[in-house]
Amino acid sequence: MSDLSAITDRLRSIGEELESLSSQIKAGEPRPQSPTLKGRIGGAIKRRLYRLLWWHCSQMNAAVVLISRWMHEEKKAIEAIRQGYEQGIQNADHRINQTAAAAANSLRVAELAQRLATDSSGSAQLAASVSELTRKFDAESIHTRQLATNLSELRQELDAENVQARQLAASLSELMQEIEAENVQTRQLAARFSELAQKVDVESNQTRHLHARISDLGLFTQQTRASLSIQDRRLAVLIEESRKRLPAAPPSQRLQEMLNEETQHKYDSLYAAFEDVFRGSREEIKSRQSVYLPLLKEHKVGSSAMPLLDLGCGRGEWLELLGEQGFEARGVDSNDEMIERCKSAGLSIESGDSLAYLKSQPDECVGAVTAFHMVEHMPFDVVLVLIDESLRVLKPGGLLILETPNPANFLVGAYTFHLDPTHLKPVPSPLLKFFVEARGFCGVEVRDLHPYPQAVRLPEDGGIASRFNDSLYGPQDYAVIGRKP
């Protein structure tokens, strides 16, 4: 700024010298003070020659020198302005002021050029040069205004960027706060995981001890089973030997009944163990049998007025589930081991043959009769007796539910059905449904139950794979449900 001011001062000084020189050009060369006529005539001729040869006069030479200095100073001013432009956007206002000062000087130069042009036609070339210089300054002024406009736009963009930057900084601050909160939660979770890991270690140690204990108990159980097997065998030999001796010495009736009873129940413990291995856990069986609960509620069965009788109740899962749901029910079974388990669980159970117990009941005394996996153990004529007696003891509107393995499932019919050595033969669902309908029940339906898990089924395409899945992995059981009119 100080360099441009100095250049401006020098231009102003040159302009003043040009104005002074212009007045001298108009007046011509100073009149010589000669007292003689010859001198005056020579002076007049000299002035005429100076007017004819004005471009060779000292004033014109001085004007040319001044114009050269002017142009040199203008060149300096332009160079200073160009250097000011290169200083960057931050000094734009300063460069605009310099350009304005230069523009003002160019206007003064233009005025001076106009005055020189009026003084002499020879000043036209100088005026043309000054006009070219003015044009250049005007172009620079236009460029400067464009730069100012661009600078204003750039400032607006920078302001917008600053707003976005502040918003981004605020978002970043919020994100940092969230990250810090997450870090706090992470540290809390890490501490919690550490505590859980310690608990898991403790539990693992306890589990190892339990596994060792279970292993010992398993060995003890095997030894106990072996001992019981030996005792059962000894008891069987003793009973058999007693039977051989009975004809020689007729026994009392009570002794005969005891021998028959022991013979009938000698495999009770073995069959109970078989059920534990192949039947499934209590929770699994209760989950399967829970599908019948809505049916009982729909027909209002299980109240004190419509109690339920479960034939061959086994381990008592169905009775336990009914008790948990508030239904009134009792069961009957002939396996002493099963009976003891049910009594230990606080269930209502009777000991004896299921069919004989059913025959002993009065007419229309129960609201439902259920028999899970029982008919496959019975001959054809016994199944008919079971159906007939159930119809007799049921109250009007009472239900009969018979569940049995489904032989339509090839795996069941060809393999799993034969895992139980007491099974006689599988009963197809259309056959059992016909028996129930033919003996007087109405509204008889068949419900397919317990298909294999979806994970074991083949991907289905609607063709062979679907039929293959239905045949091998379809329902493993079915239930025939009939209602007494």
CATH code, 280-483: 3.40.50.150
Phi, psi torsion values for 124, nearest 5 degrees: -60, -40
- Are 445 and 411 a contacting pair, CB within 8 Å? no
Alpha-carbon span 352 to 361, nearest angstrom = 13
The burial of 250, by beta-carbon neighbours within 10 Å (0-12 exposed, 13-18 middle, 19 or more buried), is given as exposed
What global pTM score does this model have? 0.50
Domains of the chain, by residue range, sit at 2-167, 280-483
The predicted structure's pLDDT at residue 389? 96
Count of positions (residues) in the chain = 485
**CB contact set of 71 (below 8 Å; sequence gap of 6+):** 129, 133
Q: Which two tokens stand for residue 168?
A: 């981004």
Phi, psi torsion values for 350, nearest 5 degrees: -115, 145
Alpha-carbon span 69 to 48, nearest angstrom = 29
Q: Which two tokens stand for residue 162?
A: 């600053």
pLDDT in tens, the chain (485 residues): 556 667 667 767 766 766 665 565 555 444 555 567 766 776 777 666 655 555 445 655 665 666 666 666 666 766 666 666 566 555 555 655 665 565 565 666 566 556 655 554 554 565 566 566 667 656 766 776 777 787 778 778 878 877 888 888 888 888 888 888 888 888 888 777 777 777 777 777 677 767 766 766 665 565 565 556 556 666 666 666 666 665 554 555 554 555 455 455 566 667 677 777 777 788 899 999 999 999 999 999 999 999 999 999 989 999 999 999 999 999 999 888 888 889 988 999 999 899 999 999 999 999 999 999 999 999 999 999 999 999 999 999 999 999 999 999 999 999 999 988 889 999 999 999 999 999 999 999 999 999 988 888 888 776 788 888 888 899 999 999 999 99
DSSP letters of 143-199?
HHHHHHHHHHHHHHHHHHHHHHHHHHHHHHHHHHHHHHHHHHHHHHHHHHHHHHHHH
**CB contact set of 21 (below 8 Å; sequence gap of 6+):** 59, 62, 63, 66
Alpha-carbon span 213 to 226, nearest angstrom = 20
- Are 480 and 402 a contacting pair, CB within 8 Å? yes
Alpha-carbon span 84 to 1, nearest angstrom = 9
The predicted structure's pLDDT at residue 50? 59
Q: How many helices (H) does the chain have, and how many strands (E)? A: 16, 7
Alpha-carbon span 339 to 353, nearest angstrom = 12
Alpha-carbon span 267 to 290, nearest angstrom = 30
- Are 398 and 252 a contacting pair, CB within 8 Å? no
**CB contact set of 395 (below 8 Å; sequence gap of 6+):** 306, 364, 365, 366, 367, 484
The predicted structure's pLDDT at residue 331? 96
Closest by CA to 299, choosing from 218, 225, 397, is 397
DSSP letters of 271-297?
HHHHHHHHT--HHHHHHHHGGGHHHHH
Classified as helix, coil or strand, 480 is strand
Question: How are strands ordered across the β-sheet holding 308-311?
Answer: 349-351, 329-333, 308-311, 366-372, 394-405, 475-483, 442-451
The predicted structure's pLDDT at residue 227? 57
Closest by CA to 111, choosing from 130, 139, 135, is 130
The predicted structure's pLDDT at residue 485? 93
Residue type for position 123: S
- Measuring CA to CA, how many Å separate 469 from each of 426, 449, 464? 21, 15, 9
